[in-house]
Amino acid sequence: MAKRGWEGVMMSAYGARDHIVTVTEREEITPHFVRIFMSSETIFTEVNAGPTAWIRGWFPDANGDGFEYQRGYTLSQSNAETGEFAIDFVLHEPAGPASQWAQAAEPGWTFAAQTLGTTKFELPDELPAGYLLVGDAASIPALSAIVATVPEEVPLEVYLELHHETDLDIPFPTHPRLNVHWIPRTGTESLAASIEPRDWSDWKAWLACETASMKPLRVRLRDEFGFPKSEVHAQGYWVEGKSMGRMREEDKAAAEAAKAARAATPRNPSPSHNVKLLLTAPHVARGAPPREAGSLPR
């Protein structure tokens, strides 16, 4: 039986049930982004198939030491009747257990998932003046689901942090009042600094990005734009340079290697992707169209 540490003990104490999930297909969207189609006979008896709904997957350590690590992932293209859904994985370095698993996953592979604590995005009875959505490749699945849910008359401003040039090729849904701005990451404050100074009165904000980028975002929305705390959903999805799920010494070495790699990589993406245009122009879909409504890691 796999070892799950204190997280497994806590989940068992709260009565979380294991659901067996089976891989049915994989689709390479970009070199850093893979969509894995799955099915489960029981998962939708506990989780709602609505937008931004997520599950807790237990993924094995690639070292083969018998440990499993918990990661939260947004469901997309969910079909509660057939038990089918998809999960999008960002393939990154240093790679944690889930990223390593996704790199190699093939049809027929299985893993255990739990649903305790899962939530979904819901529209309020009184619609806001608009939605400000901020994230990156890791949260594109959840942001896609929100965009697909918001009525056509409600404006959406989306700011996405660009970590790889190929992020531009990740499918994103269309909406009549949608603007998407791709922001090259130059530091932990570049995403917050990119938000347009304007009247954000009566807007709601949904933020999901790298953890160090989150604090300056929340501060600017609160202090400069006057967003009430009740109108902001904020969650750090991942930590730059940290694989999560490794021993502390391995994490330190991996973080130092990632820092050296970033220092050797040009900060600005190739002009061929026309990022300046994307920073200012309304969204034009890139890559293949999404296969229904979308959703990703926590």
Report pLDDT for 242: 57
- DSSP class of 270: P
Q: How confident is the model at residue 270 (pLDDT cuts 50, 70, 90)?
A: very low
Report all structural domains of the chain as residue ranges with CATH numbers, in order of start. Answer: 5-114 (2.40.30.10), 130-280 (3.40.50.80)
Q: Who has greater pLDDT, 246 or 30?
A: 30
Q: Which of 118, 138, 108 is nearest to 55 (CA)?
A: 118
Separation of CA 90 from chain center: 8
Reply yes or no on whether the pLDDT at 291 is more than 50: no
Q: Give CB contacts under 8 A, 24+ apart, made by 181-187.
A: 181/157, 181/278, 181/279, 181/280, 182/275, 182/278, 182/279, 183/159, 183/279, 184/267, 184/268, 184/269, 184/275, 185/161, 185/213, 186/267
Q: How confident is the model at residue 81 (pLDDT cuts 50, 70, 90)?
A: very high
Reply yes or no on whether the pLDDT at 237 is more than 80: no
Whether this prediction's pTM lies above 0.95 is answered by no
Q: How confident is the model at residue 249 (pLDDT cuts 50, 70, 90)?
A: very low
Reply yes or no on whether the pLDDT at 236 is more than 90: no
